[in-house]
């Protein structure tokens, strides 16, 4: 069957605007060099290209100037944790990875290639990405299930000298922190005196916990389906045990969601579960609720507003959308601009601070974070990240 036949084949989805948008994919490769005559052909390809190849062979760093590599990111998944759909496999994950690549380009000016791997083996994923790495200036891991995603990211960060970033973890964490910075300001709280409850101990929950600790939150617990994650439990994975030691173990908190929420200042939901209204009612005065499960928040905003001063979700049809697109394009843009060898905790904190500062003059209970289409977002985040990379000593340009 030919390519043209594939693109025009009649299906049951004809006429559906979503499917029509996706017909043939959402992206394409475009040339930046014109090849219109023999002279341009001889420069773009043989024999002229051999001069560039030889120069790079002698000085590999020239690839940063004379190829697209430094401005190109691999968007890598194994299809095991796609959006709210779960383990749907690499083929079904491709529309999401294409979408991610489009967002990279539209919001950060970063080229990216979606790569869906037909393996869920940690060793195979790590080895495959390492072997591909010379073709890219950064690696964006996407929709890989926990706890495997933690090991994959850690091993790739250790093996590679280019930025490795798991957006489900760190993109979510950066935007959550930015919104929380402003929410604390509005409610007159300091990080040191704020009590935070995070429901969901997957990739996003653990990353949010870590960045909040870096920010200065002292009293924080994570919960999974069995309750507070503390070392008093005997069923913890390695990643859960590690996060327990710096969260619930510090304060000695244990128990159920009901016990954790009683008197809590902040609720962060990244679990996809449901929190009963009577539990929300037990939170502190001027509570802050970030119910980020999509499409159904753990606490519906209308319910949350009965008890909370500030409410955020992951949805675009309510105020205060916690959207990763506010973070990852600018983070990679900033890292690429200074040829960063890694993305540090300082760079993530700088991104959050830059996002929070953008709404300083219009800060309100319904605006603690910029809108995704705010044109200031990408430049502000990339500039802050680039400067933080220099401060942290990972910038090479």
Which residues belong to the active site?
45, 100
Distances (CA, A) of 380 to 9, 110, 161, 249: 44, 15, 25, 37
Contact 271, 200 (CB under 8 A): yes
Alpha helices by DSSP H, listed for 281-344, are 301-304, 328-337
Burial 303-318 (b: 16+ CB within 10 A, else e): bbeebbebbbbbbeeb
Of 136, 134, 154, 130, which Cα lies nearest the Cα of 144? 154
Distances (CA, A) of 350 to 91, 175, 231, 242: 36, 11, 32, 25
The H or E element spanning position 251 is helix 248-251
Cα gap 298→321, rounded to integer Å: 14
Name, in order, each residue with C-beta under 8 angstroms of 309's C-beta and a sequence gap of 6 or more: 186, 187, 286, 287, 288, 365
Between CA 225 and CA 233, with CA 230 as vertex, the angle to 5 degrees is 75
């Amino acid at each position: 069957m030919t390519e043209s036949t594939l693109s025009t084949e009649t299906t049951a989805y004809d006429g559906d605007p979503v499917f029509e948008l996706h017909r043939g994919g959402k992206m394409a490769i475009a040339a930046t060099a014109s090849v219109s005559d023999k002279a341009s052909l001889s420069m773009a390809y043989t024999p002229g290209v051999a001069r560039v190849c030889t120069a790079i062979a002698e000085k590999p760093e020239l690839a940063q100037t004379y190829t697209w590599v430094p401005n190109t990111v691999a968007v890598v998944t194994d299809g095991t944790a796609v959006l709210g759909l779960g383990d749907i496999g690499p083929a079904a994950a491709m529309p999401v990875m294409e979408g991610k690549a489009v967002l990279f380009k539209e919001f950060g000016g970063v080229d990216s290639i979606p790569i869906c791997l037909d393996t869920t083996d940690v060793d195979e994923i790590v080895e495959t990405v390492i072997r591909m790495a010379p073709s890219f200036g950064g690696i964006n891991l996407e929709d890989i299930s926990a706890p495997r995603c933690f090991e994959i990211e850690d091993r790739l960060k250790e093996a590679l000298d280019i930025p490795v970033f798991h957006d489900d973890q760190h993109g979510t964490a950066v935007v959550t922190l930015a919104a929380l910075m402003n929410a604390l300001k509005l409610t007159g709280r300091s990080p040191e005196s704020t009590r935070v409850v995070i429901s969901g101990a997957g990739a996003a929950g653990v990353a949010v916990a870590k960045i909040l600790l870096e920010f200065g939150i002292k009293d924080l617990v994570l919960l999974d389906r069995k309750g507070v994650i503390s070392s008093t439990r005997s069923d913890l994975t390695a990643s859960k045990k590690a996060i327990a030691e710096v969260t619930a173990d510090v304060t000695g908190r244990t128990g159920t969601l009901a016990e954790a929420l009683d008197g809590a200042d902040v609720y962060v939901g990244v679990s996809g579960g449901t929190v009963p209204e009577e539990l929300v009612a037990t939170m502190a005065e001027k509570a802050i609720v970030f119910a980020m499960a999509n499409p159904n928040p753990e606490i519906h905003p209308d319910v949350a507003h009965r008890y909370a001063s500030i409410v955020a979700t992951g949805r675009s049809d309510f105020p205060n959308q916690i959207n990763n697109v506010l973070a990852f394009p600018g983070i990679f843009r900033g890292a690429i601009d200074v040829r960063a060898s890694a993305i540090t905790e300082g760079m993530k904190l700088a991104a959050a601070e830059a996002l929070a500062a953008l709404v300083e003059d219009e800060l309100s209970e319904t605006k603690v974070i910029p809108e995704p289409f705010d044109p200031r977002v990408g430049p502000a985040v990339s500039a802050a990240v680039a400067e933080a990379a220099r401060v942290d000593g990972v910038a090479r340009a």
